[in-house]
Each structure stands twice: as structure tokens, then as C-alpha cells.
Amino acid sequence: MKINLRKTLIYTFSTLVLLIVVLFVHIYWVYRPAPDASTEAMARIDIKQSITQDQANKITAWMVHQKGVDHVLVNPETKIVVFTFFTLKANGNQITNNFKSAFHLKAERFMPGDDDQSNSCPVIGSSYAYKIYKLISKII
């Protein structure tokens, strides 16, 4: 009888430990930060001189090969370069400086001011869904 009680306690304890390990793995898996959600940023470079479509294609090809750059859009009519990059791998200012030295163009990185940011999205700051989202984000 003692042996059966002892085996039962060992199996129960082992099962409990296994379930606790599974719970911790599940919690980590669900709440781990997504690598691209908070580490990807968007930047804009304003070119102060005219560029052709051929130059825009060369700029696109060069930007895509920069470390950390994910996606690039170049518009030769508006003379704007928009790119996304991973902040853990690259710095937007460094990419802009490398761009200026590689192409010898008069360009600068566009940094939105407070007024630009407040007018950029009509939903941010005014919707209840956004306020609830921010509250939950602070708690978690």
C-alpha cells in the first residue's frame, strides 16, 4: 500500500511540475514582444534638388541594400524617399548621412514637429478604442 501511495505522489508531483512548465512556456509565447511591431520605424528624406526616374531607381536599389532597411519608396516628382528600417539594426540619421555621402545630393531627413504629429491621425487621442488600448498597454 505504501508503494502505491508513494508512486501516486511522485506521478502527481511530476504532472504538476510539467503543467507549471507548460504554463510558463505558454505565457512567454503569448506575451513575448513581436520583433517587428515595436522595432520597426519609418523615416523620410526630402531631396532638395530634382532627380530623374533613373536616379530614383538607383536610390531605391542602394537603400534596399543598407543594413536594417526593410522597404523603400522613392518618388522623383515630389523628391521624397520614404523607408522603413529596424531600429535594432540601423539608425535613421546614419542611413540619411550615408545616403547624402553616397549620392552627393542636397537632402535632409524630415522630422515631424508636434503640430504635424497631432494632425497626422484623426483617430489618435480622440477615440475611446485608442484610449482603452493605451490603458491596457500600460497595464501589460
Residue 94 lies in a domain: yes
Cell of 10: 511522485
Q: Is the separation of the CB atoms in 47 and 106 below 8 Å?
A: yes
Residue 44: per-residue pLDDT: 94
Same domain, 112 and 55: yes
Residue 131: per-residue pLDDT: 74
Mean pLDDT of 66-77: 93
Residue 119: per-residue pLDDT: 66
Same domain, 15 and 61: no
Same domain, 45 and 74: yes
Same domain, 94 and 28: no
Q: In this structure, how many other beta carbons lie within 10 angstroms of the beta carbon of residue 69?
A: 19
Does the pLDDT at position 124 exceed 90?
no
DSSP bridge pairs for 69: 85
Cell of 93: 540619421
- Rounded Cα distance between 83 and 93, Å, is 12
Q: Which of 99, 119, 113, 124 is nearest to 48 (CA)?
A: 99
DSSP bridge pairs for 46: 80, 108
Using one digit for the tens of pLDDT, what is the confidence trace for 77-110? 999 999 999 888 889 999 999 999 999 999 999 9
Same domain, 28 and 77: no
Torsion of CA 22, 27, 29, 35, to 10 degrees: -160
Same domain, 50 and 28: no
Residue 15: per-residue pLDDT: 95
Q: Is the separation of the CB atoms in 74 and 59 below 8 Å?
A: yes
CATH number at residue 86: 3.30.70.100
Our count of domains for the chain comes to 2
Pair type for strands 80-86 and 107-110: unpaired
The model's pTM: 0.59
Residue 34: per-residue pLDDT: 61
- Rounded Cα distance between 45 and 119, Å, is 20
Mean pLDDT of 40-55: 93
Judged by average pLDDT, the poorest of 15-24, 73-82, 95-104, 113-122 is: 113-122
Same domain, 19 and 70: no
Residue 1: domain span: 1-32
Does the pLDDT at position 117 exceed 90?
no
Does the pLDDT at position 33 exceed 90?
no
